[in-house]
Amino acid sequence: MKKHLLFLFILAATFCATAQSNYQSQIILEDFREARSTPNVENWPKDANGNMDCALIRVSIESIHPDELSKITFNFDQNTPAYPPKVVSEAGVSMVYIFVTPSDEPTFIEAVLGDYGKSNRVTIPKLGERKCYNVRLRNNKRLSISFSTEPTNAIARIETGEKTTTPGTIANVLTGRHYVTLSLNGKTLLNDTINVTESSTHFTYDLRTKKNVKFSSTPSGTNIYIDGELIGSTPVSKELAYGSYQVEARKSINETDIRTININEYSETDVHLSPMQKKTLIISATYKNSSVKAPLYIDDELYSKKEAAEYRVSLPINKKFHMEMLHGGYKKRRTVKVKKDMSPELIFKITDKKEFVWPWQRVYDVRPFGIYVGYVSKEWSVSSGDTDYNGVPLWEAMGYDSEGNILNGIQAGFQMQPCFSWGGGIYTGAFLEFYYSSKKASDNPNHTAYNSIFDRYSELSLYIPAHLYYRLPFAEKVALSLHGGLGFDCGIYNRFHCSEDKNKEPYENFYGKESFPSRLNVSAEVGVGLRIKAIQINAQISKGLTNNGYIINSNGDKLEAVQNKLRIGLTYLISGDY
């Protein structure tokens, strides 16, 4: 009988020992030892009776989130009452301070933490008054963690050396804090600290290059959504990875502005949106009274790559749009002003007859800038009472033959003719004019002043037009234009000189003197242009408005003169997107 009892005792002891050896707590207390120095603590607490200074047990934490430290409780035997644990931070490391009653008797300590359960018990031989003891509380639980990145195929490595290629998993990782390095193509892109818990085992990273984009709107204070997610109210900034996004500015259900933006190295960093009240239109087309599928163009841009029999389009109220639908080589074009109370149905009745199209409705290749060169001539017209003398006063005064008294020259410069969508605009520019003429002496014996001295005349002047302009397009690259207004001439330099006597000093810059023209002149002008592709033929006449000089006739009368001009030339027009 004794042998049987002894066998059962040994068997039970063996089973208990085996079970104890196989059991391992999730949290473990270890490395209990007396500290070499005592921390500086203000108002060191006394025991419950107020007789002795307490002993301090300092618990360092490993692989447990700091948020959970306040939830840890510590158990001692009944002979060692303790103050409530206090969480502190030393050199950035979270610790728990426990002040307990000193004792020369052995005791134990164990920790309890929610789902982690109880730790093992650590025996304490004794606790001295105002002594400090260190012990470590370690989380022993291991989990599998996973990583995903954009783009994929990055390397995620934790501080223990384990790594995976994203998307991927690393198994058997201790819960708690870990350091992660993410690299792609051998280049480190990100270093991060993660905390592994039961509820936090998957980690996602966006490794794409990012750009900070600022969003504004009219009016401000409008909600901005990116791919359906609200990021704030304008003005607002958001760091976006390179890629395509749908951005919506939403003031109300009916006041939105939606567009697609592409973020890349060259994209703008400022995006302005204008949420406006919109109306949904149902746009369709018919051909010979039958509904047909037809492409829709709005302001000369294709609305959808897929042809449909009906389009639902939301457009801002109180704005005009040029719309066009095509079928069988024929088209119908309309200018539509969206109104709140208008019918939502728009039907384009396409016929096989060529419809009338206003000039401003035609598609036109805009070329508002040009380089001009051409012929220019001018003369001075002098009046005396009811008699007009057409000629050049300066030649008459100088005693030369009055036949052919028109100055011929060359004009070249830069031309601008920007035009609005309805055809109107302005015409201006800056042109240099160079005149050169020669005259023979008059046979009139009364003309003796300089007729044998100076026989050559040259002049350089600046011309600037300020005209209203109207363009009448006949085709995409063919148009007739009309313009008229004021012209301003400014003489820069002029002179007479003698061709026979090279040593004779020339007569220079005589603007404003008797029998000579003034430096400044203002004219009323009208012109026409015919544009064919990039070449425009120009013609223009000018009638002087201001006094451009004077002469004294034989009666001593002062006769005022006006300057008239004619110009014909070619302009090479340069395309401009505006």
pTM beyond cutoff 0.85: no
CB-CB contact of 69 with 32 (8 Å): no
Stretch 476-482: mean pLDDT: 89
CATH of 142-206, one of 3.30.930.10, 3.90.1150.110, 1.10.760.10, 2.60.40.1120: 2.60.40.1120
Domain spanning 210-274, CATH architecture:
Sandwich (2.60)
pLDDT (mean) for 506-514: 80
Strand order in the sheet with 86-90: 27-34, 132-139, 55-62, 93-100, 86-90
Going by C-alpha positions, the residue among 101, 59, 97, 98 that lies closest to residue 80 is 101
What fold does the segment set 21-139 form as a domain? Immunoglobulin-like (2.60.40)
Pick the closest to residue 158 from 186, 177, 141, 139 (CA basis): 177
% of the chain at pLDDT higher than 90: 42
pLDDT over 70 percentage in the chain? 85
Angle at 498 between CA 493 and CA 503, to 5 degrees: 100
Residue recorded with tokens 């410069």: 413
Instruction: Note whether 21-139 and 369-574 share their fold.
Output: no
314-350 pLDDT per residue, tens: 888 888 899 999 988 888 888 899 988 899 999 999 9
In whole angstroms, give the CA distance from residue 156 to residue 83: 44
Q: Give the span between the Cα atoms of 511 and 497, in whole angstroms.
A: 16
Q: Cα–Cα distances in Å, from 399 out to 150, 372, 408, 543?
A: 91, 36, 20, 26
Domain 278-356, what architecture?
A: Sandwich (2.60)
pLDDT at 354: 64
- Residues 473, 360: Cα–Cα separation, whole Å: 8
The whole-chain average pLDDT of the chain stands at 83
Instruction: Let me know: does 415 contact 372? Beta carbons within 8 Å.
Output: yes
Buried b (16+ CB within 10 A) or exposed e, 499-525: eeeeeeeebeeebeeebbbbbebbbeb
pLDDT tens digits for range 195-214:
888 788 999 998 888 899 99
DSSP letter at 549 equals: B
Each domain of the chain, given as residue ranges in start order, spans 21-139, 142-206, 210-274, 278-356, 369-574
Q: What CA–CA distance (Å, rounded) separates 406 from 392?
A: 7
Annotation: CATH topology of 369-574: Porin (2.40.160)
* Nearest of 357, 351, 311 to residue 328 by alpha carbon: 351
Residue type, 99: F
Sign of CA dihedral 317, 322, 326, 331: positive
